[in-house]
Structure 1
Amino acid sequence: MDLFKDIIGQKKITESLSGAVLNNKLHHAYLFTGSQGVGKEAVALELIKIVNCQPGAGKKGYCGECATCRQLGSFASDDLLYIFPTISKAADTDKVIKEKSVMISAELKEKSKLKGYHKFSFKTGRFITLSQIDEIKYFARYNSINKSRKFVIIYPAELMNKEAQNSLLKILEEPPADLFFILISENASFVLDTIRSRCLNIHFPLLSEKDIENYIGKYHPDVEKDLIPDLVSDSFGSIDTLSKLLTDSGARLSKLHEDLYEIFFDSLPPKTVNLTDAFLEEIKELSDTEIDFILRKTLNKLLSSTFGEDRKESNKIRAAVMNDFEKFGVMYRRNINPRLLMINLYLNFREEYKKWKTR
């Protein structure tokens, strides 16, 4: 039996979690992993509503009408602590603090409207800090007014700094009763092994093209039908990427993809360095989702134009190039010298390209 009704795809995961709810066998801590935009946060938010819905009592899915469902759906519940990288700074004035509060509130409303299928459009902070994890201790101190189960969502979990992860580990070693954790991560390798071992790990695969079509039909029914095939293809199984393509930024992202392709395929030093600097300046304010789209689209075009359909002989080199691009994405998010990362990525690709051409 599947208690989830808002989730696009991920049927095996929702059925497994439904079984855990129905059999009262929820794990005290989950780690949801996978690419951006595949439904990790949406599943987490609906799971919390299913467990705490008053009429449903975890047996029929959530009703969406009771006070508990409405409060959880609008992020206004005392039974949900949502932790993400802080955007506050010590030097913020009262005016700035208020402006940031209004901005976050508006983004949470959009997240609620789209059932969790919405990523913050503003640039979050670099890390989740110790003081934020310390809030869990205060949150856990008081019982729920509605006798509900209390949940902590930490997203992205890989952005907890060392002190924050060590503090969370101590809490997970002796978790308070009726307090559940859902850690969400796109790069779980940056989460301590000892934290991962105390969580039930659930990996979310990319969405299928049919899933993306279903999402468009459900949440964006006004999209012109002749645009749907390209949108589905360019989404790479990610609703986050699709959402960006549906905005005015879609054309700009396509232009940046062409710029990056030119750097790798058509440029030679010293022109490469100048193009790289200009490109990095253009993308410095982009979100992780937007950068992922540019990297994936460029990678696909590079592989296609370099190796064509010859997959058998090029498998090893393809894997090396794909691995280099994946590493770049991870290290770029960690704010490690973007210029050096990009030049190394370029040099590695040109080396693999040379091997292929002189084989």
Structure 2
Amino acid sequence: MQRREFIKGISASLVMLSSGLAPSSVANATSASSAKTKKNIVWVILRGALDPLHTIVPLKEPNFSQLRPTLADNVANSKLVLNPQFSLNPVLTNMHQWYLDKQLLPIVAVSSGYPERSHFAGQDFLESGGELKELESGWLGRAISASLDHNNNSAIAISNAIPISLRGSDSVNTWYPTKGEPADEDIYQQLAVLYQQDKKLSQNLMDGISLKEMAMRGGGNKSRKFVALAEACGNFLNQSDEIDCAMLEMGGWDTHSNQHGRLNRQLSQLDKGLEALKSALVNQWQNTVIIVATEFGRTVKENGTYGTDHGTGSAMFIAGGAVKGGKVLGQWPGLKPEQLFQNRDLQPTSNSFSWISTVMQQHWQLTTEEINHILPNNTPYDVPIIS
């Protein structure tokens, strides 16, 4: 290893010790009052396969209680009504208020088109926008590269490493809280002097310090729980002039047993985390779209351990201050035996990627050609979802 690369590695390690970030190209921090108008997108992936029927509850389905004699009773009387046909899980109180404020779009019976029921392959498919071996990058990374022709975009992943979703762009940085003690400020000053004759190394150091300072302005919370990570994500978007894209991920959605209690905790954390994200965004909320999706759904029938197994059709959410919300999207397929996919799963009626394409077209104003490069063969829907 050459000395230059060795020193560069030391620099990156020091910054990671203090803030959990990996320096690359990163935007400069600015005050919210001086920030230019941005159009933010936050991508939230729920790893493990969210159960759609326990999240967006079908109120008028006579087969629901028959298919789920235990699980249905826990959510059937939810007062978080969306319309005569659906309600939200009772713990999603903040998201329900967003719906009433016309800032949330629940979408029923969606699928990415992934044909199997493997978590890892399904997540790869969802993040890449199709078969990873064919695309070799992530749909969001390709979107950032395309949007660079329109704006000076950069992204941040609240993660230890760049997720598949963001691969394919050089304008991506990562941040994740560490348990280590912060590096002494004198070390940064000494490194700045050492690097002053090398623009690249100096810029890497300054970029890393910039992200560290943005994280510290949010209180320097080292918690790795979703609520704290979502708040940090909002702080980055609010405090930077140029970061207009972010990714969050939340695991723990694989509920083969004792689903009700486990999903109560999971959905509550999701709901509180998204509200923390909104609060941290401050005025940037009005320019933000949040996309929440999972790799596939779960069986419509509960199993013998009060859970559900890997399925097909699921649900997703599009939310934010820039969203024309207050309605449930997607075509409901029904839960009669002949309406199920392979006699066991919720039948998908729309494609997750086409909904994402719709966001890209209407929020980032990407062209049809650009969208076809980002998400091949997934045409946007002709539905106005962005204000």
Give the TM-score, by structure 2 length: 0.24
Give the TM-score, by structure 1 length: 0.25
Structure with more of its chain in strand, by fraction: 2
Tell which has more relative contact order, 1 or 2 (C-alpha 8 A, sep 6+): 2
Structure with more of its chain in helix, by fraction: 1
